[in-house]
């Protein structure tokens, strides 16, 4: 999208085609009562049968919208990590016993028990993640919780990782907010959590992702914008990879209730580790076949492919005791390697957001 093609032109173009407009705005979600126990709209409730096809982005490109990136990059890969846990919880311990002895790491649960009993913090593995990404000239975003209250049990105190956060900032990584489970429809709670994390890191928070993908269309976008976020990266499905509203490009959401553009950028998430192995029941090999195709498709459209790999996915077999093993870290490195070979801009959400605000919207 060139500078002259502003947000109004962007939305007006999509409006020309009702099917694309209804998909882009997710009109179906405005009055739906079909949600799971956490209040989320699942892919199985969606009418988007072509979830793996970014058809709205494809429509835009075919109608003359050209996306520009720095340094002659053809497309971008937004690398991100949600920091849900810093140490194994009791629920993790119980889950670790479930698959034994079927999983590859047959003694993984013993290591898990040792970590749990000795209160180790195997998920404080940020240096390992950063060093892996640096091999491929990449950097990423880390979304931290700033509230300990959670439906799944008490979470960590973000004050306990101030040194780790400082390290990440020194390595040019972005620190974003992972809103708590109860915050996604509560403006004051969102503001409080944002301000707390900003006080700790001494910097403005640009990006946000809601915990466990809780989202109410379009209300959550409006609240996040009012709270002062520049971008969100929540609008995907927790139980399926792909493009929830047919977009593989960052965009300004549109509120059908007010008939107004919402002043926040959505960088839509696409590939999530938990979606692949917990919901879609894919192993690492089958996941790679799918991810590789998604990378190729997004490259053709000059889009942005958002990857979410949780920090505990890098801590096999401690995390869930071998439900997954080293193959999932190897899969993440495959993504980095393939992206590097294709000359993708592999970077943080903040960098992508700033680029789009400056050059496209």
What is the domain-level CATH number for residue 339? Answer: 3.20.20.370
110 in a domain, yes or no? yes
The pLDDT assigned to 205 comes to 97
Predicted TM-score (pTM) of this structure: 0.93
2 in a domain, yes or no? no
The pLDDT assigned to 31 comes to 86
Q: Measure the CA angle with vertex 300, ends 298 and 304; round to 5°.
A: 30
The better pLDDT of the pair 320, 172 is held by 172
The pLDDT assigned to 100 comes to 44
288 in a domain, yes or no? yes
223 in a domain, yes or no? yes
The pLDDT assigned to 86 comes to 87
The better pLDDT of the pair 85, 253 is held by 253
Neighbours of 119 (CB within 10 A): 8
3-state helix, strand, coil in the chain (%, to 5): 45, 10, 45
The pLDDT assigned to 4 comes to 35
Weakest-pLDDT range from 87-91, 183-187, 223-227, 233-237: 87-91
Weakest-pLDDT range from 34-48, 108-122, 173-187, 227-241: 108-122
Percent of the chain exceeding pLDDT 70 equals 88
280 in a domain, yes or no? yes
Indicate the Cα dihedral angle 175, 181, 187, 189, nearest 10°: -80
156 in a domain, yes or no? yes
Distance of CA 252 to the CA centre of its chain: 17
Alpha helix segments (H runs only) across the chain: 7-15, 18-25, 55-62, 90-97, 108-117, 126-134, 162-170, 187-201, 219-226, 273-274, 284-301, 326-341, 349-359
1 in a domain, yes or no? no
Weakest-pLDDT range from 142-151, 203-212, 322-331: 322-331
Provide mean pLDDT across the span 127-131. 97
What's the token pair of residue 97? Answer: 């016993």
Contacts of 58 (CB under 8 A, 6+ apart): 301
* C-alpha to C-alpha distance for 212 and 291, rounded to whole angstroms: 21
The better pLDDT of the pair 264, 114 is held by 264
* Identity of the highest mean pLDDT range in 32-36, 190-194, 318-322: 190-194
* C-alpha to C-alpha distance for 45 and 59, rounded to whole angstroms: 24
Q: Which domain holds residue 324?
A: 7-359
Which three-class secondary structure state does DSSP give residue 56? Answer: helix
What does pLDDT average to over the chain?
90
83 in a domain, yes or no? yes
Q: How confident is the model at residue 286 (pLDDT cuts 50, 70, 90)?
A: very high
Number of structural domains in the chain: 1
* C-alpha to C-alpha distance for 314 and 298, rounded to whole angstroms: 26
Q: How confident is the model at residue 321 (pLDDT cuts 50, 70, 90)?
A: very low
Weakest-pLDDT range from 68-72, 234-238, 284-288: 68-72
Q: How confident is the model at residue 324 (pLDDT cuts 50, 70, 90)?
A: low
Q: What is the DSSP letter of 324?
A: S
Which three-class secondary structure state does DSSP give residue 340? Answer: helix
The pLDDT assigned to 154 comes to 83
Find the radius of gyration of the CA atoms of the chain. Answer: 20
């Amino acid at each position: 999208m060139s500078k002259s093609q502003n947000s109004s032109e962007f939305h007006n173009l999509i409006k020309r085609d009702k099917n694309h407009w209804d998909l882009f705005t997710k009109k179906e979600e405005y009055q739906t009562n079909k949600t799971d126990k956490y209040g989320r709209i699942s892919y199985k409730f969606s009418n988007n049968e072509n979830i793996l096809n970014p058809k709205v982005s494809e429509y835009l490109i075919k109608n003359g919208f050209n996306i520009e990136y720095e340094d002659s990059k053809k497309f971008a890969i937004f690398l991100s990590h949600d920091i849900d846990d810093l140490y194994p919880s009791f629920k993790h311990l119980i889950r670790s016993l479930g698959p034994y002895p079927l999983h590859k790491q047959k003694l993984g649960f013993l290591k898990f028990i040792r970590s749990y009993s000795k209160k180790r913090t195997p998920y404080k593995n940020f240096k390992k993640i950063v060093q892996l990404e640096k091999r491929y000239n990449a950097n990423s975003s880390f979304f931290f919780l700033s509230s300990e209250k959670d439906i799944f049990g008490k979470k960590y105190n973000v004050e306990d990782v101030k040194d780790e956060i400082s390290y990440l900032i020194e390595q040019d990584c972005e620190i974003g907010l992972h809103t708590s489970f109860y915050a996604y429809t509560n403006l004051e709670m969102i503001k409080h959590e944002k301000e707390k994390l900003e006080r700790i890191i001494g910097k403005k928070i640009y990006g946000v992702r809601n915990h466990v993908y809780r989202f109410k269309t379009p209300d959550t976008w409006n609240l996040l914008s009012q709270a002062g976020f520049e971008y969100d990266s929540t609008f995907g499905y927790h139980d399926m990879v792909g493009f929830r509203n047919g977009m593989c490009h960052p965009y300004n959401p549109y509120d059908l209730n007010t008939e107004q553009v919402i002043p926040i950028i959505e960088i839509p998430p696409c590939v999530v580790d938990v979606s692949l192995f917990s919901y879609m029941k894919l192993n690492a090999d089958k996941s790679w076949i799918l991810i590789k195709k998604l990378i190729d498709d997004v490259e053709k459209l000059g889009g942005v492919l958002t990857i979410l790999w949780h920090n505990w996915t890098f801590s096999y077999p401690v995390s869930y005791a071998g439900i997954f093993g080293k193959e999932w870290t190897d899969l993440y490195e495959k993504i980095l390697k393939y992206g590097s070979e294709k000359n993708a801009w592999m970077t943080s959400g903040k960098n992508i957001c700033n680029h789009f605000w400056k050059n496209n919207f």
